[in-house]
Amino acid sequence: MAAEAAFGSAGSQAVALVAMVLVLAAVTFAWVVAAAGLRRVLALLLGITSGLLVVLMVGFGMSGTWVVFAVLLAHSAVATAVIGWLLVSRPSPAQSARLGQ
């Protein structure tokens, strides 16, 4: 399986680990009060990570033997991009509390 990976075995594991850490940070910042700039930077990093997941997906999809991983990576790439988009499109909890006042 490592031979089919676009970034090699270690690179693929690093991309998956970075994606997991960034998604957990984004979900945390979506619930706590975080500066808008920090949320935008995190959304940008999630977009880049989503692109890296797409590269992995294409690599596994082109190999033909690991198409199941390509489908799972496609889901991960879309979910990562949507979380990044929601991070910047929705107001933080502190902002939504002030909107009604």
Can you give the residue ranges of every domain in the chain?
A: 8-93
* pLDDT tens per residue across span 53-74: 999 999 888 877 778 888 999 9
pLDDT of residue 73: 92
- Tell me the pTM: 0.81
pLDDT of residue 59: 85
Buried b (16+ CB within 10 A) or exposed e, 31-44: eeebeeeebeebbe
State the residue for tokens 């960034």: 22
